[in-house]
Amino acid sequence: MISALRGALIVVSLALLGGCISPMTTREAQDIAHQQLTSYCAGRCGALTLAHTQKIKSRWLVDFEAPRQKFTVIVEDDGNSKITAWEK
């Protein structure tokens, strides 16, 4: 009986961990990028518009446009990000 409970606990634990380890979705990458860019701009960039999202290997490139600048946010699968900005 104890081994059956232990086996069930292992199966449930692996299922829960599988959900945590799953690859990042497009929507998650866009949400992280938008949060980071909003923090970076602090209201100075104007209205941000999502332009394009693509995945290259283990990174997401999320492009945004503002009235005077363009931004690319690189989001790693672990949630780290880097923002690049350039003038239009």
Buried b (16+ CB within 10 A) or exposed e, 56-88: eeebbbbbbbbeebebbbbbeeeeebebebeee
What domains can be seen in the chain, in order of their start residue? 24-87 (3.10.450.630)
Q: 30-87: per-residue pLDDT in tens?
A: 999 999 999 999 989 999 999 999 999 989 999 999 999 999 999 998 889 999 998 8
Q: Is 47 in a helix, a strand, or coil?
A: coil
The pTM (predicted TM-score) of the whole model is 0.73
The set of residues, in sequence order, having a beta carbon less than 8 Å from that of 52 and lying 6+ positions away, is 61, 62, 63
